[in-house]
Amino acid sequence: MLTYTKKLKFHEYPFLRGKPSLLGRLDIELTERCNNDCIHCCNNLPEDAPARHREMDTAFLREIVTQAADLGCLSVRFTGGEPLLRDDFAGLYLFTRRLGMQVIVFTNGRLITPELAALFAKYPPGNPVEISVYGMRPESYDAASGRKGAFHEFRRGTGLLQKHGVRFVLKSSVLPPNRADMAEFEEWLQELDVENRRPRYAMNFDLRSRRDDPGKNERIEKLRLSPEETVRVLARSPRYVEEMREFCGKFIGPPGEKLFSCGAGHGACVDAYGRAQMCLPLRDPDTVVDLHKATLKSALEDTFPKLRETRATHPEYLARCARCFLKGLCEQCPAKSWMEHGTLDTPVEYLCDVAHAQARYLGLIKGGEKAWEVGNWRERRTLMMETKGK
């Protein structure tokens, strides 16, 4: 029986203390380079891109991670690009773990070696490794990832994690080359001893977060599922309606003029070049802090709180999004607006359409209704909650 110590999960710790640390989790994009060239990716540079020379060096990364630990941070997420492309990944991983923080690794799994799998087994990350799956067979995976032979490397990587007993989760993207693989992916999830067997899909793809490639943006837009297709995929989960009812009961409602109703800026993300961002895709230069000149603490205490007070000025946003009760269901946010339009407050029509399609499916609005014109949204939400379980 414990008497002197209390055991709890990492995510329970802030609740035990009654107040969160200044920084709960730090996201670090170790590189924007990737060994894949996925047809839908918003964020990849070629593996040998010159940007490599501008990336944070090991010493600087260690300094950032140490600052995070000093601020009470409990988790660091390493993402990219493909974070395992960095030669110093294993050292950074162990350094971060030795500071007493959990690590979350986002990877395509292709570069997992026996040595790395053994390291994860000996010093577990504290969170399942998160692996993106681009197909269930060589033809589909390689077509979606833009790399011949990638599928076999990905399967070897997941096999190594299994062999070493490392926990991992899988998530997929619904793309033209792999749409026929969905059932097989879901069967595989059931067979594997993975942390979460529930299928997770990306399908409403983001545009380029650096706003650097209009041609690729056009191609990404063509890969997005239509709003109706999105609902069909979401509704494959038998618990979709029940969960959305619960979610909407808590989180929908007009956001008003304040732009940041999300968690952006409560934590921090660091891009590959040492700039702190309020969230990973929000790269508007007016919202980032250069960590070569300032500290994480100053970004979190001074810059981000001021930015979080930003109010919308775009007339369309004020007329629609600010009054729309589907906020919560809709993914409209400053980062999405930035990627689509280069501003923080321009409505993203595609996301608006997806939210409306979901709302129609859930019975919150009728065909042809615009959610920002609905006055009795509270009654509708209550009605939806009352039908729970029926």
Give me the least distance between CB of 78 and other proteins, in Å please: 17
Identity of the residue, 6 or 390, whose beta carbon is nearer to other proteins in the bound complex? 6
- Structure tokens of 258? 């304040």
Residue number, 120 or 134, with CB nearest to other proteins: 120
Burial class (CB in 10 A: 0-12, 13-18, 19+), 195: middle
* Single residue of 80, 125, 328, 334 touching other proteins by CB under 8 A: 125
Nearest to other proteins of 17, 236 (CB atom)? 17
Rounded distance between C-alpha atoms, residue 206 and residue 217, angstroms: 9
Q: Is the separation of the CB atoms in 97 and 48 below 8 Å?
A: no
Q: Does 53 bind other proteins (CB under 8 A)?
A: no
Give the bridge partners for 103, in sequence order: 76, 126
Rounded to 5 degrees, φ, ψ at 106 are -100, 120
Return the residue of 49, 51, 99, 241 that touches other proteins, per CB under 8 A: 99
- 311 binds other proteins per the rule CB under 8 A: no
What does each C-alpha distance from 235 to 232, 254, 351, 353, 371 come to in angstroms?
5, 25, 18, 17, 21
The structure tokens listed for 202 are 């990306």
Phi, psi angle pair for 172, to nearest 5°: -130, 170
Count of residues of this chain found to bind other proteins when the rule CB under 8 A is applied: 30
Residues between 350 and 389 that touch other proteins (CB under 8 A): none
Q: Which of 54, 114, 123, 342 binds other proteins (CB under 8 A)?
A: 123
Cα R_g (the chain), whole angstroms: 21
Residue written as tokens 């070897």? 156
- Helix (H), strand (E) at residue 339: helix 334-341
Closest C-alpha among 155, 172, 130, 157 to residue 38:
172
The minimum distance between CB 291 and other proteins, in angstroms, equals 22
- Scanning residues 130 to 189, which ones bind other proteins (CB under 8 A)? 167
Q: Which residues pair with 75 in a beta bridge?
A: 25, 102
In the complex with other proteins, which residue's Cβ is closer, 78 or 317? 78
Nearer to other proteins (CB atom), residue 73 or residue 374? 73
Among 46, 91, 100, 305, binds other proteins (CB under 8 A): 100
The stretch near other proteins (CB under 8 A) out of 115-123, 136-144, 180-188, 258-266 is 115-123
Site for other proteins in 15-34 (CB under 8 A): 16-17, 21
- Judge contact between 318 and 255, C-beta under 8 A: no
Fill in the per-residue mask, 56 to 95: x = in contact with other proteins (CB under 8 A), - = not in contact.
Answer: -------------x--x-x---------------------
Find the helix or strand (DSSP H, E) in which 202 lies. Answer: strand 201-202
Q: Which is nearer to other proteins, 20 or 138 (CB)?
A: 20
Token pair for 378: 């509270």
If one asks whether residue 2 binds other proteins (CB under 8 A), the answer comes out as yes
Q: How far apart are the first and last CA of the chain?
A: 44
Which of 126, 138, 254, 256: binder of other proteins (CB under 8 A)?
126
Strands 25-29 and 75-79: parallel
Instruction: Provide the greatest CA pair distance for the chain.
Output: 62
CB closer to other proteins, 54 vs 98: 98
Residue among 69 and 202 whose Cβ is closer to other proteins: 69
> At its nearest, how many Å lie between other proteins and the CB of residue 8?
6
Helices 240-251/349-362 angle, 10° precision: 110
Q: In terms of CB distance, is 101 or 344 closer to other proteins?
A: 101
Interacting residue ranges for other proteins, rule: CB under 8 A: 2-10, 13, 16-17, 21, 69, 72, 74, 97-102, 121-127, 167
